[in-house]
Amino acid sequence: MRLRALLDTRTLGLRLLGGEDELDRTVRGVMTTDLRDPSRYLSGGELVLTGLAWRREPEDSERFVRILAAANVAGLAAGEAELGAIPDDLVQACLHHRLPLFAVEEAVSFASITEHVVRQVSSERAGDLAAVVDRHRRLMTSGPAGGGPEVVLDLLGSDLDLRAWVLSPTGRQIAGSTLADSGPELSGELAARLAGEHLAAARTGRRGPHRVTLAGSTYSLFPIRYEGRDLRQTVLSDWLLAVEADAGDWPEERLDLLHGVTQLIAVERDRRDAARTVRRRLAQEVLELVQTGAPPAEIAARLRVAAPVLLPGLGSAPHWQIVVARVEWEGGDVPGGPVAQSLLEEMLVDPGTSGPEPSDRIAVAHTGDEAVALVPLPVPDESGDSSATGLHAEELLPLVQEPLGRGLADDGRLTVGVSASVHSAEGLRGALEEARHARRV
């Protein structure tokens, strides 16, 4: 791991006092010492922890730091419990020898720092966790007993101190750690930027993970995708695993572990797609009736079947809205319908919500390169409040522009059209044409 990653770990309470230009040094171990000359116990690459008991006069700092620098240690972390503020002579000695210096808050124990570093650099620990992940994968493959991706993200947090999230291509959080001490939540704005960076990197064809630095932290982005298919068929619908860490200096064992986690999450993605089969079929049936000119009574009967599935517990028949989307690639050799279907299911979910449940009220069919969403809307109350009576195109625009625009690049095109809400089967055919016309415009 790198020194920069230690500084970015808020729970360690480290404060940088000097050596900002040297934070890319690799940490290979940790040593706690108060010996005046610990050189015989150093092999290079250590983070040295000290309580400063060796310092009896200012001149001792220069001698101690010179020994550490000669041993090629990665950095020095000095505790504030003994002397309070770190002495200025130690700060100056570290600056002279270009040795990164950290202050350790009195409330933070050296043991917690040691444990964190050991977790990060221990390939054996990653191997142990890989076995747990493999067992969890088998549970999830045979049924829902595994508990979903949150369980594995909690394992990454508790065993490897890695904060991780599963994000949709629009940046909506699908899953995150449920641990109480997992740190601050990932903001919607930052999640959208991570999704955009992932889509842009994926379009280059480079093998993941992709690394990006945003808001002062480094993230590694692992794709969760279907193998063996044209990238353009999946790039706008793939989930991603975002890990708050720099995977550039990880050993192969840890990279293999994270790739195993993405395979596990892909199993969950398949299960959730399968759960949408009924809603997709309902939308397909309604779409075919509308397009073939079926009598309104027949369409109304089909809508009565769909309503309790999409809006359970609703006492009255809902209003309906049509949203259409089309994905087209330069050359026209890639079918856009399935991607548009998956993408539209995601776009119509409130980006402020997490998990799969909000998409349960959206039924999307596809034909050719076009996807058609049948969205039920609660009937406005008697006061005329229509705040919940429909989607508006301008609400979808930010999702189209960022991050999805990064995945479309210069050879892809996504167009969306939204209809007004209608309250009957008779109006559904007009709503479909209205949405299609809006999309063409």
pLDDT, one tens digit per residue, over 233-279 is 777 888 999 999 998 888 887 888 888 788 778 877 877 777 788 88
Note the pLDDT of residue 133: 58
Instruction: State the pLDDT at residue 66.
Output: 94
The confidence band for 316, taking pLDDT boundaries of 50, 70 and 90, is low
Together in a domain, 92 and 143: no
Provide the domain count of the chain.
Answer: 3
Same domain flag for 186 and 102: no
pLDDT band of residue 80 (cuts 50, 70, 90) is: confident
Distance CA(19)–CA(75), nearest Å, equals: 9
Could you report the per-residue pLDDT of 352-386, keeping only the tens digit for each? 554 445 456 678 998 888 999 998 887 765 444 44
pLDDT of residue 313: 65
Rounded to 5 degrees, what angle do the CA atoms 95, 97, 101 make? 50
Tokens for 262, please give them.
């993405």
For the domain that residue 179 is a member of, what is the CATH number? 3.30.450.40
Predicted local distance difference test score (pLDDT) of residue 33: 87
pLDDT at 26: 86
For 351, the 3-state DSSP assignment is: coil
Pick 126 or 165 by higher pLDDT.
165
The residue out of 225, 258, 275 marking a domain boundary is 275
Burial letters 100-126, b for 16+ CB under 10 A, else e? bbbbbeeebebeebbebbebbbbeebb
Cα–Cα distance measured from residue 26 to residue 65, given in angstroms and rounded to the nearest whole number: 18
- C-alpha pair distances (Å), 310 with each of 37, 284, 303, 375: 72, 14, 10, 8
Domain boundary (226, 259, 275) is at 275
Supply the mean pLDDT for the chain: 82
Place of tokens 């369980």: 151
Identify the pLDDT of residue 178.
77
Q: Is 1 within 8 Å of 116 (Cβ atoms)?
A: no
What secondary structure does DSSP assign to 263-301, as a single string? HHHHHHHHHHHHHTHHHHHHHHHHHHHHHTT--HHHHHH
Residue 403 DSSP label:
I
Residues 127, 217 within the same domain? yes
Same domain, 160 and 95: no
What's the pLDDT score for residue 145? 43
Element (DSSP H or E) covering residue 303: helix 296-310
Range with the poorest average pLDDT among 24-28, 192-196, 224-228, 243-247: 224-228
pLDDT attached to residue 165: 95
My answer on whether 345 and 298 are in the same domain is: yes
Which residues form the domain of 186?
122-275
Q: Specify whether 335 is located in the same domain as 376.
A: yes
| Domain match, 283 and 417 both | yes
CA dist list (Å): 186 to 90, 223, 243, 298, 415: 37, 18, 11, 47, 29
Same domain, 78 and 138: no
Among residues 164, 119, 126, 117, the alpha carbon closest in space to that of 252 is found at: 126
Q: 205: burial class by Cβ within 10 Å (0-12, 13-18, 19+)?
A: exposed
Strands 217-224 and 210-214: antiparallel
pLDDT in tens, 208-227: 799 999 988 899 999 987 55
Identify whether the C-beta of residue 26 lies closer than 8 Å to the C-beta of residue 249.
yes
What is residue 352's predicted lDDT score, i.e. its pLDDT? 53
Range in 48-57, 59-68, 113-122 the model is least confident about: 113-122
- Give yes or no for residue 52 having a pLDDT over 60: yes
Contacts of 98 (CB under 8 A, 6+ apart): 19, 21, 22, 69
Residues 247 and 363 reside in one and the same domain: no
- Give the pLDDT mean for 327-339: 81
Confidence band of 437 (pLDDT split at 50, 70, 90): very high
User: How far, in Å, CA of 347 to CA of 340, rounded?
Assistant: 10
CATH assignment at residue 37: 3.40.1390.20
Same domain for 291 and 428, yes or no, is: yes
* Domain boundary pick from 227, 257, 275: 275
> Nearest CA to 278 among 153, 363, 383?
363
pLDDT at 57 over 80: yes
What whole-number percentage of the chain has pLDDT above 90? 27
Specify the amino acid at residue 195: A
- Distances in Å between the Cα of 179 and the Cα atoms of 102, 357, 361 are 28, 21, 29
Give yes or no for residue 134 having a pLDDT over 70: no
Residue 303 sits in the same domain as residue 166: no
The pLDDT of residue 144 is above 60: no
pTM: 0.69
Angle at 266 between CA 262 and CA 271, to 5 degrees: 150
Q: Two tokens at 291?
A: 């397009």
Cβ-based neighbours of 67, under 8 Å, separated by 6 or more: 37, 38, 39
* Residues 181, 257 within the same domain: yes
